[in-house]
Amino acid sequence: MSDKPDFEKIGASVLGGELTLKECEVLSGIMDARQLKDGENLVSESGTEHTLFVLIEGKLKVLSESEGQLKHVYTMKAGEVAGTRAFVDRTPRKATLEADGQATVYTLEPDAFESLLDTHPRIVYKVMRSIFRITHSNLLRMNQETEQLTNYINKTHGRY
């Protein structure tokens, strides 16, 4: 099922944090909406599509294959964005996204987004800044988790 995105919900997401409502309205014009049922896959690991996803309602499980099985590594909440690396680099997916209950996701295709370069370059700039911040935040979170795991293994900086 596909509907048109609500531009105000884009503004409430991490992706639209810097955008004015008018800019969100322009961006919503090139996006689509998908309704997911519980357990439905949005994308699969190694998939070649390059869509950016904005989770508007519900939750998404981020699953990664390890030893031949999908392992739950993170749960996305409303307002979060997935697929930044595939969207920017146009490389295969590194994770599977699966609905955890009903979910609404807005989608943005790279070619549609790039079509805004000539007509709305400030929107492109602001969205790319948001994508950079999202990627940076994910990297910081992963570094913290790695440090905590290292501390646990080495039994340093805390009681274990």
Residue of 156 and 55 predicted with greater confidence: 55
Q: Which residues, including other chains, have CB under 8 Å from residue 18's CB and lie 6 or more apart?
A: 126, 129, 130
pLDDT score for 139:
74
pTM (2 decimals)?
A: 0.84
* Dist CA 113 CA 46 (whole Å): 22
Q: Is 73 helix (H, G, I), strand (E, B) or coil?
A: strand
Instruction: List helix spans (H) across 91-120.
Output: 110-114, 116-119
pLDDT in tens, 38-58: 999 999 998 899 999 999 999
Q: List the domains of the chain with CATH numbers.
A: 2-111+119-152 (2.60.120.10)
Confidence of residue 151 (pLDDT cuts 50, 70, 90): confident
pLDDT at 135 over 90: no
Nearest to 112 by CA among 4, 19, 27, 22: 27
